[in-house]
Amino acid sequence: MNFITQKHLNRRTVLKGLGATIALPFLDAMMPALRAQGASKKLRLVAMEMVHGAAGSTAFGLQKNLWAPAATGTAFDLSPTSLAALEPWRDYITIVSNTDVRNAEAFLPPEIGGDHFRSAAVFLTQSHPKQTQGSDLKAGISLDQIFAQKFGQETPMPSMQLCVENVDQAGGCFYGYSCAYTDSISWASPEEPLPMIRDPRAVFDQLFGIGATPEARAARRRRDRSILDWVTQSTNQLKATLGVADQQRLSDYLDDVREIERRIQKVEAQNSKGDERTLPGAPVGVPDSYDEHVKLMFDMQVVAFASDVTRVVAFKLSRDVSNRVYPETGVKTGFHIASHHQDRDERIIELAKINKYHVGLVPYFMKKLKETPDGDSNLLENSLLIYGSPMGNSNVHNHKRCPLFLAGHAGGALKGNLHIKAADGTPMANAMLSALRSVGVELETFGDSTAVMDLNSAVGTNL
């Protein structure tokens, strides 16, 4: 039998210790305060960019359905596609195929060839970047930051910007574009790209307010103690006032935090041995394994959402012209080289394997979100995940038929289990405008949008 205590917690209650602060997950004890405040459902937004387009954007890939399924509506078959791993999650998936990202194209002759170096800046802004290698940057406000401006101010961190590949190049890149365009997908204003964090340790320390300075954080780690050791007293005091269900929920949450910390410590210990690394020059907290790195970042997003530290994440899953090799795929060719497949069928198939591997990591995130309570529901129900690329057929650097899918029910705004094939020439910005509206941001236009798309209709009828 559950005995409900009289403890009523504020949603912003935290566990505090020496140099550490841990926000709490949603607990039943917080319900009275939230009801009194008339709190509405809190939605989360994650925008993920993958570079180099998709094998399914080629003529051969379209014929073989290497990205989008053949059928529209609800009776589609994912098995031939790079989205096959999403089959168990189809009730949460909205595929939007055949959209273009025109603003990533060259508008003027000097811009020709620079597709890789402006694409990242276009993906979430759907705006054409100014060609410059100086500080006079100009793109647009990104989708994640539009959401953060409206809802992010309610949380300790308005948004998080994460990445997996290095984004530490300075100055000019190639074809007259600043590296700032390639380094970030998140723009707070048309002139302000936001820095992205690659090191899981830096993310962990940011989430839990560990130490006021880098020196203090390093000293704490040298003591070889868990962050939870610093908040033991406040944890025990809080548990004594909670009901059984809340005690279990808090314990599960803290176990997740400890496990994330343990994995980061293991990576740091391995990378500190002095052995030759697959990723020379990467921070000591960055795993050499892509799979491990991405999953660590996913896990920290779940913890951040569960504790309402933030509700907005932009996650850059690769970097344009990255030649990283993914051994798990069986493809020995580097990613960028594989994307320039010379329109050869067998090489397009190899790119499709890489696409399939990347998408195959998303269900891990979805499962974690679904298993995490959020009031009377779960985080996956109350989230919108956006996964896509601003490039189509990377072999010719075009931006037509770009890959895109949405996941989650956005608090009930999206039904899922749907494939929408847009009419030829439809801007991806139409889908993104509609996605923003589904999470409560009422905009008339976004980027080069021409209409609002119905994300619950098989034909995506413009509204």
Phi and psi dihedrals of 413, rounded to 5?
-75, -25
pLDDT > 90: percent of the chain: 78
Tokens for 280?
A: 């020379």
Strands 160-163 and 312-316: parallel
Strands 383-388 and 44-49: parallel
Q: pLDDT digits over 73-98, tens only?
A: 999 999 999 999 999 999 999 999 99
**Sequence-ordered strand ranges (E) for 76-214:** 93-100, 160-163, 187-189, 192-193
pLDDT score for 11 = 79
Contact 225, 210 (CB under 8 A): no
Q: pLDDT digits over 17-52, tens only?
A: 767 889 999 888 887 655 545 456 899 999 999 999
Q: pLDDT digits over 311-353, tens only?
A: 999 999 999 999 999 999 999 999 999 999 999 999 999 999 9
Distance CA(182)–CA(193), nearest Å, equals 10
DSSP 8-state code for residue 67: S
Distance CA(89)–CA(378), nearest Å, equals 15
Strands 418-427 and 187-189: unpaired
pLDDT score for 116 = 95
pLDDT score for 14 = 87
How many CB atoms are located within 10 Å of the residue 407 CB?
Answer: 26
Predicted model pTM:
0.94
Is 290 strand, coil or helix?
A: helix
End-to-end CA distance of the chain: 51
Tokens for 427?
A: 């801007």
pLDDT score for 17 = 79
Q: Domain 42-198+286-438 is of which CATH architecture?
A: 3-Layer(aba) Sandwich (3.40)
Q: How do the domains of the chain map onto residue ranges?
A: 42-198+286-438
Distance CA(439)–CA(419), nearest Å, equals 20
pLDDT score for 134 = 92
Contact 142, 432 (CB under 8 A): no
pLDDT score for 460 = 64
Q: pLDDT digits over 46-83, tens only?
A: 999 999 999 999 999 999 999 999 999 999 999 999 99
Residue spans of the chain under pLDDT 70: 1-7, 18, 32-40, 168-172, 210-224, 460-463
Strands 404-407 and 383-388: antiparallel
